């Protein structure tokens, strides 16, 4: 009865004999244990998190519900394998627009092995992780019955520049995402804005991250999701969720400044779209300031 | 007429024939151009910043006033050399307590050369820069006429662990900083707290960093300073200042998430001292949570 999910924009897929997550069609998502210790670590996080009574519901709602672990037939035909059983965040959703954003200006953690550190920092410097404090891992935006989804391929998404990210965040809430024309940001105010929109949810998360010193999240993603149909009906069903907890560490009494900094950067991008939905331009200090002789990319040797 | 400043807790000193900053005793500070392009870059920053009319006074007050550049006799006897002329932040201060905190979880910037990147990241990982998002570069705290200042040597300060930083931030506002006893945090409420105290000033800076996308500050320091005499008289003269702008870059429309994250981490440390001035303990997630089996330092291989 388990099958590959209809929508998946990042991570390994349970297709063509590959190992990937499965869904049961009635609200549960089965994530196979990742190799090495990552699967065990992710279960440990969910166990700790779900039993921590200090975490209030307005924060808990950002995390998938955890139902434990279960042996199920793996999608790659390797037999019964342990899976983490979670709430399926996208069951019963139609024509879902979804974006997966890996938060933080580094994906490596202080205790990482030298190999893992080198692998992560290379990718962090090659993507927008270092300059923006986050990178888009995958996305799809529903356009229409005729044109379907705008869904740039993953290789292209990983090559996104700062301006590609700016553009993608606008296209994500536009009626014309797959067009070469300027994104119209038609849905920005209802999806990103309002008292229950994505910006309001990100600000709630931010307030938590300014205070909580229990968890440090590395390589963790913010998912932003909404249905175009709901928007057209004037309802906002936009949601923010956090996923991927294979690299969560004890905060040891320190805030997760790496996650918080990246989250604030994302918040600023989204605020700017709400402030000037019809003005897509490369914003920057040099154009704005009267004197641009201070250190710019080209004038610096070291 | 120029001489070495009475108080200097970080950076090169103009003593024993070394090159260092000088003061004129009437409010001006002469900083010799740093070698390579750093001196030029710092002047470029001050020029840009001081001519930017969009920066309001409540933010401008955190920066030293810039008086231009001037050729003066260098402290190392090398003759007339260019110096940056700035407001002397500590003139007319007696028995000053001062801490220099380098903000950010990285001191390297995206455009850095490979050599500079390697040098910075090594030091960032060896100090509290990576785990805390800031490191203390130097400090002194005035105790009394008899015992003078508590002023740990620089080598020791660079070796500070997370708990040394916690302790130093408490000692800095204690009447017994040089004692082995628990720091009493006697001055915490007047120096850190209150509507004009250091925490309030840091929160104002934070609000600016959540919004401004013009400057990215690398290897820049927050100075916290106050006079014990003022505190004993019930006045708060505590000030926050930003210094060291040799590595400031155009923000290109992105917030300085690296500085902001580190600043929020410092703010959390100071808030905690105000909340529990008499409780110095290693705070952390593991003690607080009911289930500590999730990723701790020891249980993780990668």
- In this model, does residue A282 exceed pLDDT 80? no
pLDDT band at A280 (very low <50, low <70, confident <90, very high): low
Alpha-carbon dihedral angle through residues B47, B55, B62, B15, given to the nearest 10 degrees: 0
Distance between CA atoms of residues A165 and B211, nearest Å: 18
Q: Do B293 and A253 count as a contact with CB atoms less than 8 A apart? A: no
**Domain annotation covers residue A300:** no
Distance between CA atoms of residues A116 and B192, nearest Å: 40
* Same-domain check for residues B27 and B176: no
Q: Do B251 and A284 count as a contact with CB atoms less than 8 A apart? A: yes
* Same-domain check for residues A257 and A152: yes
Task: Report pLDDT for B208.
Answer: 98
Closest chain A residue to B46, measured at CA: A294
Task: Report pLDDT for A18.
Answer: 87
- In this model, does residue A283 exceed pLDDT 80? no
Distance between CA atoms of residues B41 and B248, nearest Å: 8
**Domain annotation covers residue A12:** no
Task: Report pLDDT for B237.
Answer: 92
**Domain annotation covers residue A289:** no
* Same-domain check for residues A77 and A101: no
Using CA atoms, how far residue A46 sits from A84, A220, B129, B202, in Å, is: 9, 13, 29, 35
- B264 vs A contacts (CB less than 8 Å): 210, 255, 257, 260-261
Q: Give first-to-last CA distance, chain B, whole Å.
A: 58
- Any CB–CB contact under 8 A between B279 and chain A? no
Mean pLDDT of A41-56: 95
- Any CB–CB contact under 8 A between B264 and chain A? yes
- In this model, does residue A293 exceed pLDDT 50? no
pLDDT digits (tens, 9 = 90+) for B177-220: 999 999 999 999 999 999 999 999 999 999 999 999 999 999 99
- Any CB–CB contact under 8 A between A18 and chain B? no
Say which residue the tokens 């330092």 belong to: B297
Distance between CA atoms of residues A38 and A34, nearest Å: 5
Nearest CA distance, B73 vs chain A (angstrom): 26
- Any CB–CB contact under 8 A between A254 and chain B? yes
**Domain annotation covers residue B294:** no
Nearest to A110 by CA among B285, B300, B283: B300
pLDDT digits (tens, 9 = 90+) for B245-266: 999 999 999 999 999 999 999 9
* Same-domain check for residues A73 and A104: no
Distance between CA atoms of residues A63 and A241, nearest Å: 6
Nearest CA distance, A88 vs chain B (angstrom): 23
Mutate to test the interface with A, among B252, B259, B291, B298 (most CBs of A within 10 A): B252
pLDDT digits (tens, 9 = 90+) for A52-61: 999 999 999 9
pLDDT band at A36 (very low <50, low <70, confident <90, very high): confident
- In this model, does residue B1 exceed pLDDT 60? yes
- Greatest mean pLDDT range, A11-25, A187-201, B25-39: A187-201
- A202 vs B contacts (CB less than 8 Å): none
Specify the range with the lowest mean pLDDT, choosing from A138-142, B47-51, B298-302.
Answer: B298-302
Q: b/e map of A123-157 (b: 16 or more CB within 10 Å)? A: ebeebbbbbbbbbbbbbbbbbeeeeebbbbeeeeb
**Domain annotation covers residue A295:** no
Per the structure block, which two tokens stand in for B174?
């204690």
Q: Residue window 159-178, chain A: list those with CB within 8 Å of chain B.
A: 162, 166
Closest chain A residue to B44, measured at CA: A294
* Same-domain check for residues B108 and B190: yes
Helix B198-211 with A257-275: angle, nearest 10 deg: 50
* Domain boundary, last residue among B61, B87, B113: B87
In the three-class reduction of DSSP (H, G, I as helix; E, B as strand; rest coil), residue B217 is classed as: strand
pLDDT band at B285 (very low <50, low <70, confident <90, very high): very low
* Same-domain check for residues B268 and B127: yes
* Same-domain check for residues B106 and B167: yes
Higher pLDDT, B295 or A7: A7
Q: Do B295 and A44 count as a contact with CB atoms less than 8 A apart? A: yes
Task: Report pLDDT for B291.
Answer: 34
Task: Report pLDDT for B298.
Answer: 37
The CATH number that applies at residue A200 is: 3.30.470.160
Percent of chain A with pLDDT over 70: 92
Distance between CA atoms of residues B43 and B130, nearest Å: 29
pLDDT digits (tens, 9 = 90+) for A137-150: 999 999 999 999 99
pLDDT band at B289 (very low <50, low <70, confident <90, very high): very low
- In this model, does residue B277 exceed pLDDT 80? no
Distance between CA atoms of residues A119 and A107, nearest Å: 10
Say which residue the tokens 């060896």 belong to: B126
* Same-domain check for residues A160 and A36: no
Its domain, for residue A61, covers 22-87
Task: Report pLDDT for A17.
Answer: 80
Using CA atoms, how far residue B62 sits from A14, B87, B136, B166, B221, in Å, is: 55, 12, 19, 24, 11
pLDDT digits (tens, 9 = 90+) for B164-173: 999 999 999 9
Distance between CA atoms of residues A100 and A11, nearest Å: 10
- In this model, does residue B134 exceed pLDDT 60? yes
- Any CB–CB contact under 8 A between B286 and chain A? yes
**Domain annotation covers residue B141:** yes
Of A44, A211, A295, the CB nearest to B294: A44
pLDDT digits (tens, 9 = 90+) for B69-122: 999 999 998 999 999 999 999 888 889 999 999 999 999 999 999 999 999 999
Of A131, A215, A258, the CB nearest to B105: A258
- Any CB–CB contact under 8 A between B275 and chain A? no
- Any CB–CB contact under 8 A between A52 and chain B? yes
The DSSP code sequence of A29-52 is: EEEEPPTTTHHHHHHHHHHHHHH-
Number of cross-chain residue pairs from A and B with Cβ atoms under 8 Å apart: 221
* Same-domain check for residues A61 and A122: no
Of B215, B258, B291, the CB nearest to A285: B215
Nearest to B263 by CA among B209, B194, B184, B197: B209
* Same-domain check for residues B134 and B194: yes
- Any CB–CB contact under 8 A between B110 and chain A? yes
Could you give the ipTM of this predicted complex? 0.91
Q: What is the CA radius of gyration of chain A?
A: 20
pLDDT band at A7 (very low <50, low <70, confident <90, very high): confident
Q: Do A294 and B110 count as a contact with CB atoms less than 8 A apart? A: no
In the three-class reduction of DSSP (H, G, I as helix; E, B as strand; rest coil), residue A154 is classed as: helix
- B116 vs A contacts (CB less than 8 Å): 302
* Same-domain check for residues A171 and A49: no
pLDDT band at B280 (very low <50, low <70, confident <90, very high): low
Of B36, B166, B268, the CB nearest to A255: B268
Q: Do A45 and B261 count as a contact with CB atoms less than 8 A apart? A: no
Q: Residue window 206-225, chain B: list those with CB within 8 Å of chain A.
A: 210-211, 213-215
Of B36, B261, B293, the CB nearest to A260: B261
pLDDT band at A116 (very low <50, low <70, confident <90, very high): very high
- Any CB–CB contact under 8 A between B94 and chain A? no
pLDDT digits (tens, 9 = 90+) for A60-91: 999 999 999 999 999 998 999 999 999 999 88
> Do the Cβ atoms of B31 and B75 come closer than 8 Å?
no
Task: Report pLDDT for B275.
Answer: 94
Mutate to test the interface with A, among B160, B250, B279 (most CBs of A within 10 A): B250
pLDDT digits (tens, 9 = 90+) for A219-277: 999 999 999 999 999 888 999 999 999 999 999 999 999 999 999 999 999 999 999 87
* Domain boundary, last residue among A65, A87, A109: A87
Task: Report pLDDT for B295.
Answer: 41
Of A115, A285, A302, the CB nearest to B37: A302
Distance between CA atoms of residues B235 and A37, nearest Å: 56
- Any CB–CB contact under 8 A between A275 and chain B? no
**Domain annotation covers residue B197:** yes
Strand (E) or helix (H) holding B23: strand B22-23
pLDDT band at A279 (very low <50, low <70, confident <90, very high): low
- Any CB–CB contact under 8 A between A146 and chain B? no
In the three-class reduction of DSSP (H, G, I as helix; E, B as strand; rest coil), residue A193 is classed as: coil
Q: Do B295 and A162 count as a contact with CB atoms less than 8 A apart? A: no
- In this model, does residue A8 exceed pLDDT 50? yes
Higher pLDDT, B276 or A299: B276
Give the rounded distance of the alpha carbon of B47 from its chain centre.
22
Q: Do B283 and A213 count as a contact with CB atoms less than 8 A apart? A: yes
Helix B257-275 with B198-211: angle, nearest 10 deg: 150
Specify the range with the lowest mean pLDDT, choosing from A55-59, A292-296, B127-131, B243-247.
Answer: A292-296
Nearest CA distance, B263 vs chain A (angstrom): 9
* Same-domain check for residues B276 and B182: yes
Number of domains within chain A? 2
Task: Report pLDDT for B290.
Answer: 36
Specify the range with the lowest mean pLDDT, choosing from A35-39, A275-279, A292-296, B65-69.
Answer: A292-296
* Domain boundary, last residue among B87, B119, B134: B87
Nearest to B248 by CA among A292, A294, A290: A294
**Domain annotation covers residue B285:** no
Q: Do A131 and B110 count as a contact with CB atoms less than 8 A apart? A: yes
Q: Do A105 and B257 count as a contact with CB atoms less than 8 A apart? A: yes
The DSSP code sequence of B125-192 is: HHSSHHHHSEEEEEEEEEEETTTEEE---HHHHHT--HHHHHHHHHHTT-S-TTSSSPP--TTHHHHT
> Do the Cβ atoms of B47 and B248 come closer than 8 Å?
no
């Amino acid at each position: 009865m388990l099958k590959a999910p209809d929508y998946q924009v990042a991570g390994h897929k349970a297709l063509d004999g590959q190992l990937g997550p499965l869904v049961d069609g009635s609200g549960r998502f089965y994530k196979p244990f990742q190799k090495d210790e990552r699967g065990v670590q992710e279960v440990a996080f969910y166990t700790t998190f779900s039993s921590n009574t200090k975490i209030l519901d307005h924060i808990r709602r950002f995390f998938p519900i955890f139902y434990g672990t279960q042996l199920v037939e793996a999608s790659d035909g390797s037999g019964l394998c342990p899976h983490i059983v979670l709430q399926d965040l996208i069951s019963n959703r139609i024509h879902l627009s979804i974006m997966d954003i890996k938060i933080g200006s580094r994906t490596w953690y202080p205790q990482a092995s030298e190999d893992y550190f080198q692998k992560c920092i290379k990718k962090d410097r090659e993507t927008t992780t270092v300059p923006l404090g986050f990178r888009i891992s995958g996305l799809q935006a529903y356009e229409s019955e005729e044109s379907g989804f705008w869904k740039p391929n993953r290789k292209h998404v990983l090559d996104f520049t700062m301006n590609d990210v700016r553009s993608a965040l606008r296209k994500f809430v536009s009626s014309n995402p797959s067009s070469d024309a300027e994104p119209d940001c038609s849905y920005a105010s209802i999806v990103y804005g309002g008292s229950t929109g994505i910006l309001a949810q990100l600000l709630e998360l931010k307030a938590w991250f300014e205070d909580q010193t229990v968890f440090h999240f590395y390589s963790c993603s913010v998912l932003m999701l909404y249905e175009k149909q709901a928007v057209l009906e004037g309802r906002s069903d936009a949601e923010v969720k956090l996923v991927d907890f294979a690299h969560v560490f004890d905060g040891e009494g320190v805030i997760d400044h790496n996650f918080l900094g990246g989250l604030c950067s994302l918040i600023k991008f989204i605020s700017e779209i709400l402030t000037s939905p019809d003005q897509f331009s490369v914003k920057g200090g040099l154009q704005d300031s009267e004197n641009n002789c201070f250190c710019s990319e080209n004038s610096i040797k070291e």
